[in-house]
Chain A
Amino acid sequence: DTGVSQDPRHKITKRGQNVTFRCDPISEHNRLYWYRQTLGQGPEFLTYFQNEAQLEKSRLLSDRFSAERPKGSFSTLEIQRTEQGDSAMYLCASSLDWGIYGYTFGSGTRLTVV
């Protein structure tokens, strides 16, 4: 297990379509985070899981967004009825403890909505 894996790396979709991204965290990490990064900006927090429980959702996560982490392993982030403003890099990160050792980020999924 060499790190956090995200799939796909790139996704181009038409406006109005649904998309789903997958994140596989480091296996022993019980905390999982989703962030969104737009061009020229720092990552912005979207949501946080501890094991399978979703403990916090940002106000950035509108009703069109849903995230799951079944059985506390991999996580999925779904965006329904995509809009051009959803175009961004979606980053997943995992950690073992309260971020003391730092989060390990994946390489992200770049979403382009046309």
Chain B
Amino acid sequence: QQQVKQSPQSLIVQKGGISIINCAYENTAFDYFPWYQQFPGKGPALLIAIRPDVSEKKEGRFTISFNKSAKQFSLHIMDSQPGDSATYFCAASMRTGGSEKLVFGKGTKLTVNP
């Protein structure tokens, strides 16, 4: 119940195309859904995040779409660039008692061809 399922495992798009990564969760206690971008040898970096009372959030070329009833959310990268080539992780935040933690998906390796 604490899993976050992410797909696809890998994605190849052409420069200028749209990259779409999907995630699904089961636990309705999750209350914050961030996306992280990770380059080789680096830690994950926060890209964009959304709360379940919002259906869409856009920041520049990055958009999160959130479907609370379906318990699904997705990341759309518009006008994908070679510099976007990285591994992307969706995550969900859970607070229990006095603690908080992130549950991550398994990641999507995005390759943007020039």
Question: Chain A: residues with CB nearer than 8 A to chain B?
Answer: 4, 31, 33, 35, 40-45, 48, 50, 55-56, 58, 91, 93, 98-100, 102-108
Whether B49 contacts A43 by the Cβ 8 Å rule is no
Whether B99 contacts A98 by the Cβ 8 Å rule is no
Residues of B within 8 A of A98 (CB): 32, 93, 95, 100
Q: Which of A42, A45, A56, A105 contacts B43 (CB under 8 A)?
A: A105
Interface range on chain B: under 10, 10 to 19, 20 to 34, or 35 or more? Answer: 20 to 34
Given A41-B107, A44-B104, A99-B102, 5 further pairs, Cβ under 8 A: A43-B89, A56-B99, A99-B34, A105-B45, A107-B43
Question: In the complex, how many angstroms separate the beta carbon of A10 from the nearest chain B beta carbon?
Answer: 10
Whether A43 contacts B104 by the Cβ 8 Å rule is yes
Q: Which of B32, B43, B96, B104 contacts A108 (CB under 8 A)?
A: B43
